[in-house]
Amino acid sequence: MTESLAWLIPLPVVLPLSAAGLALALWRHGRAQGVISVVALSLSLIASLTLLFAADSGPLVVDIGSWGAPVGINLVADRVSTLMLTVSFAVTLAVLVYSLAQGVEDDDAETPVAIFHPTYLVLTAGVADAFLSGDLFNIFVAFEVLLAASYVLITLGGTRERIRAGTIYVVVSLLSSLLFLTAIAIVYAATGTLNLAQLALRIPELSSGVQLVLQVMLLLAFSIKAAIFPLSAWLPDSYPTAPAPVTAVFAGLLTKVGIYAIIRTQTLLFPGGRLDDLLMVAALATMVVGILGAVAQNDIKRLVSFTLVSHIGFMLFGISLSSEAGLGAAIFYVTHHITVQTALFLVVGLVERRGGSTSLDDLGGLAKVAPLLAALFFIPAMNLAGIPPFSGFLGKVGLLEAGVRDGRPLALVLVVGGVLTSLLTLYALVKAWNKAFWQPVPETVRPVRLPRRMVGSAGFLVAFGLAITVFAGPLYGYTERAAALLHDRGVYVLAVLPDGQRGEGESADFSDDADAAEQAQTDQEVDRLVEQDVQQDQIDREAATGTPGGEP
């Protein structure tokens, strides 16, 4: 069954890309563009949902153009990537409906639809490609695709404020691409390959100094994308000026693509956890500095942007533990956070519409004049802060549990930092709630009817966030299995290179004698890799069981 479903893998990339071309050709027909976008994203969502269930029984691999794996490019759909894919498409679809409604409402003045739809579809294609890619350079191309689309979206309309914000965003992104390309050059110089599976085999053979250089370079490039603390200053400057749906989809997806790339490279290529301490410090700084920034803000969009930075720290916390429990919790947190952060930005867009401003100075009394809006804000806000029944709480408990089980002093500091950050998140959001939703209604707030479809799509995302809470059991099980798969690198490598040598496609290898020798060598490498992982697992298990038992 899994064999027959592999053809679905390219669809989440190909469908939005083709639809983008079609939408661009039909630029005069706004309505047709909307239909095309919705259909393309819905089909992609169905494809990724199918893949989500199919990939649970083992990673699916497709060799593009039937070129064998290390020669050609391959797409890999395993548990992590399909989960990310499914959540992203659900979120992008909801945001699309929201922006369609907004376009109808504003008579397309705010979002020039002719450019908006094709760019938006290209963005989703880039995101999907980044999740599915099994090749480092293809990840680079996917990043460039989604970034190029995001440059257009963030400067939509070309107003003074957006050009200012866009300049910062574009320059920082170009710089991070440059760093990524440098990292790729060094990786290729050191190993002679860019295929992730083959890299997993070859990187352990490098000297430890070179390994460290590669790891740091890749981390640096991805950390800018993911907005990890010392490299996060660009985000709150640039995101809030874009139109609400654009900010929402950026906040939900783009930083998570960086986090996904970190997860993928750290687990597959550098499993030893050498930089754990560095990552932990970065996670702590991201959490605390980000949320302190949020507390100081007076503009609700910026406040929410700062909480976004802060909560990236939680995901990094899970990654830095480099244990299965930590990774599983981090992946769960990513799914939770994509939904909740996007929902919050959409609702803030509604608040801006209803209250006429995003500045807390000019807002007030919205709970009285728009009770439904208040409920829509309150639920994701509490979810983000991690109030018990919601999924944010479950994700945080998972992370804190994993941190305590880890037992290293730095991990315990992070546990404390995580709790503190949650409290400060609650403080920042309650502050915004108190000012925007309580207090007397200022005279500037005019009665505005909120478009039903905008409220509906924002409500859908809020409900989706609640559904993550309701189905947290199975979902958490899935993320834990995903984490286990990430730890068991042999599965990934063997899925891509079934004989430890070549993918399933064709690629002429004219040096047959060399091939046989190399084949035997690679078989040994795979065996050694699996062995290493088993040993590492044993060490982990001993550490996990030994530490709590050893302490009085």
Partner 1 sequence: MTNAPSLTLVIVVAALIAVGVYLMLERSLTRVLIGLIIAGNGVNLLLLSAGGAAGGPPIVGMTPESEMADPLPQALVLTAIVISLGMSAFLLAMAYRSWQLNAHDEVQDDLEDRRVARRAALDRAAYADVDAGPVSLDEAAAEVRDETADVGDAPGSDQTGSDQTSADQTSAEPKGADPTGPDPTGPDPTGPDPTGPDPTGERGAP
CA-based angle 311:317:318, to the nearest 5?
105
Q: Rounded to the nearest whole angstrom, what is the least distance from the CB of residue 113 to partner 1 in the complex?
A: 20
Q: Kindly tell me which residue out of 405, 408, 431, 481 binds partner 1, with binding defined by CB under 8 A.
A: 431
- 71 contacts: CB under 8 Å, gap ≥ 6: 502, 507
Q: Cβ 71 to partner 1, closest distance in Å?
A: 9
Site for partner 1 in 205-264 (CB under 8 A): 237
Identity of the residue, 170 or 458, whose beta carbon is nearer to partner 1 in the bound complex: 170
Q: Which residues contact 258 (CB under 8 A, 6 or more apart)?
A: 222, 223, 224, 225, 226, 227
- Considering the complex, state which of residue 361 and residue 527 has its C-beta at the smaller distance from partner 1: 361
The tokens of 34 are what?
A: 């909307």
Only segment of 35-43, 262-270, 438-446, 487-495 that touches partner 1 (CB under 8 A): 438-446
**By CB under 8 A, which span of 28-36, 436-444, 469-477, 486-494 interacts with partner 1?**
436-444
Shortest distance in whole angstroms from residue 151 CB to partner 1: 6
How near is the Cβ of 134 to partner 1 at its closest, in Å? 16
Among 2, 42, 439, 532, binds partner 1 (CB under 8 A): 439
Q: In angstroms, how far is CA 239 from the centroid of its own chain?
A: 16
Total residues found in the chain within this entry = 552
DSSP 168-192: HHHHHHHHHHHHHHHHHHHHHHHHS
DSSP one-letter code for 391: H
By the rule CB under 8 A, 507 interacts with partner 1: no
Distance CA 127, CA 374 (A): 32
User: Nearest distance from residue 306's CB to partner 1, in Å?
Assistant: 11
| Residues within window 152-211 making contact with partner 1, judged by CB under 8 A | 152, 155, 158, 160, 163-168, 170-171, 174-175, 177-178, 181-182, 184-186, 188-189
| Choice between 137 and 460, CB closer to partner 1 | 137
Three-class secondary structure of residue 506 per DSSP: strand
| Percent of residues in the chain assigned helix, strand, coil, to nearest 5 | 80, 5, 20
For partner 1, which residue of 435, 487, 489, 502 counts as binding (CB under 8 A)? 435
Report in angstroms how near the CB of residue 443 gets to partner 1 at its nearest: 12
How far is CA 547 from each of CA 192, 405, 540, rounded to the nearest angstrom?
41, 8, 11
Measured between alpha carbons, how far is 355 from 492 in angstroms, rounded to an integer?
A: 51
Please state the closest distance from residue 440 (CB atom) to partner 1, in A. 6
Least Cα distance to 268 among 91, 483, 457 occurs for 483
Question: Which among 101, 34, 36, 116 has a CA at the least distance from the CA of 458?
Answer: 101
Interacting residues with partner 1 between 260 and 299 (CB under 8 A): 296-299
- List phi, psi (to 5°) of 195: -75, 130
Look at the block and give the residue holding tokens 């679905």: 8
Residue of 3, 107, 511, 549 that binds partner 1 (CB under 8 A): 511
Provide the sign of the torsion angle of the four alpha carbons 67, 69, 75, 77, taken in this order: positive
Give the nearer residue to partner 1 in terms of CB position, either 300 or 344: 300
Q: How far is the CB of 431 from partner 1 (least distance, A)?
A: 8
Least Å distance between CB 531 and partner 1? 31
CA proximity to 115, closest of 152, 144, 74: 152
Residue 190 CB, nearest approach to partner 1 (Å): 9
Least separation, in Å, of the C-beta of 39 and partner 1? 28
For every residue of 57-96, DSSP letters joined together read GS-EEEEGGGB-TTTS-EEEE-HHHHHHHHHHHHHHHHHH
φ/ψ of 68, rounded to 5, equals -60, 150
Nearer to partner 1, 202 or 487 (CB): 202
Per-position x/- string for 115-154, each x denoting binding to partner 1 as judged by CB under 8 A, each - no binding: ----------------------x---x--x---x--xx--
Q: Could you give the CA distance from residue 377 to residue 354 in angstroms, rounded to a whole number?
A: 13
Buried/exposed code over 75-102 (b: 16+ C-beta within 10 A; e: otherwise): bbbbbbbbbbbbbbbbbbbbbbbbbbbb
Q: Which is nearer to partner 1, 121 or 194 (CB)?
A: 194
Q: How many residues bind partner 1 (CB under 8 A)?
A: 47
Q: Which stretch binds partner 1 (CB under 8 A): 24-32, 246-254, 362-370, 543-551?
A: 362-370
Considering the complex, state which of residue 114 and residue 484 has its C-beta at the smaller distance from partner 1.
Answer: 114
Which spans of this chain sit near partner 1 (rule: CB under 8 A)?
137, 141, 144, 148, 151-152, 155, 158, 160, 163-168, 170-171, 174-175, 177-178, 181-182, 184-186, 188-189, 237, 296-299, 302, 360-361, 364, 367-368, 431, 434-435, 438-440, 510-511
